[in-house]
Chain A
């Protein structure tokens, strides 16, 4: 199993450009999430999904869109990139019921995004 795969690993954008960060998992996990990690801020939840066709907002959803058409994929779209979106983005997946309900999260390697 590859686990959680994120692409690209690095990306540089200009202000106003749009792009999609890809996330795929091969563990048949129902839950998937997107986080951003900034120095001194920890991991902050952007959007999450509890199954195909179901998404919800996290703590910092503004400027980002998500959709979940399949169990495996959960892309994150930046509509109009801003310098404040410079960050490291992590995708995670989990399966309810693992570890007795604790929802252990499996993370991808991250996408490092710079917006100039």
Chain B
């Protein structure tokens, strides 16, 4: 069955450093991969989308890579700030013939001042 894995352990990094989060998937060939941010008590908020034929996408301090051979996406936050502390979810989709997306469990990031 299709599976997405994100590091369930929290990631603590020092302010100013680059945070790197990983999303691995199996038994799947998604057309799109998305990253969302979720703050406690709130719904996820879309950050970036990358297509299967794209290797890298950037937006301000954010960078996403997509390696369809390794079946892996990396999400980078450069010059991290305490305000970047949140849970980050990856989502893959749509599944063939549908509009369904599969979400990972998310990785909690804490940026220490």
Which stretch (A63-71, A79-87, A96-104) binds chain B? A96-104
Do the beta carbons of B89 and A101 come within 8 Å of each other? no
Instruction: Give the distance in Å from the alpha carbon of A4 to the alpha carbon of B94 in the complex.
Output: 21
- What is the total number of residues of chain B having a CB less than 8 Å from a CB of chain A? 26
Using a CB–CB cutoff of 8 Å, the interface residues on chain B facing chain A are 4, 8, 31-32, 34, 36, 41-46, 49, 51, 89, 91, 93-94, 98-101, 103-106
User: Please, what's the 1-or-0 string for A53-70, where 1 marks a CB less than 8 Å from any CB in chain B?
Assistant: 000101000000000000
Known A-B contacts A43-B89, A48-B99, A50-B99; A104 and B104 likewise in contact (beta carbons under 8 Å)? no
Using a CB–CB cutoff of 8 Å, the interface residues on chain A facing chain B are 4, 31, 35, 40-45, 48, 50, 56, 58, 90, 92, 94, 96, 99-110
Instruction: Give the distance in Å from the alpha carbon of A41 to the alpha carbon of B5 in the complex.
Output: 11
Instruction: Give the distance in Å from the alpha carbon of A96 to the alpha carbon of B99 in the complex.
Output: 9
Known A-B contacts A90-B44, A100-B51, A110-B42; A105 and B106 likewise in contact (beta carbons under 8 Å)? no
Do the beta carbons of B49 and A107 come within 8 Å of each other? no
Known A-B contacts A90-B44, A108-B43; A40 and B8 likewise in contact (beta carbons under 8 Å)? yes
Do the beta carbons of A102 and B34 come within 8 Å of each other? yes
Residues of A within 8 A of B36 (CB): 105
**Shortest beta-carbon distance from A72 to chain B in Å:** 18
Instruction: Give the distance in Å from the alpha carbon of A58 to the alpha carbon of B98 in the complex.
Output: 10
Do the beta carbons of A45 and B44 come within 8 Å of each other? no
Residues of A within 8 A of B100 (CB): 45, 48, 58
Known A-B contacts A40-B8, A42-B105; A31 and B43 likewise in contact (beta carbons under 8 Å)? no
Residues of B within 8 A of A102 (CB): 32, 34, 49, 51
Partner of A103, one of B44, B89, B99, B105: B99
- Across the interface, name the chain B residue whose C-beta is closest to A107: B43
Instruction: Give the distance in Å from the alpha carbon of A4 to the alpha carbon of B100 in the complex.
Output: 19
Do the beta carbons of B89 and A42 come within 8 Å of each other? yes
Do the beta carbons of B32 and A103 come within 8 Å of each other? yes
**Shortest beta-carbon distance from B87 to chain A in Å:** 10
- Across the interface, name the chain B residue whose C-beta is closest to A3: B43
Do the beta carbons of A107 and B44 come within 8 Å of each other? yes
Instruction: Give the distance in Å from the alpha carbon of A48 to the alpha carbon of B91 in the complex.
Output: 16
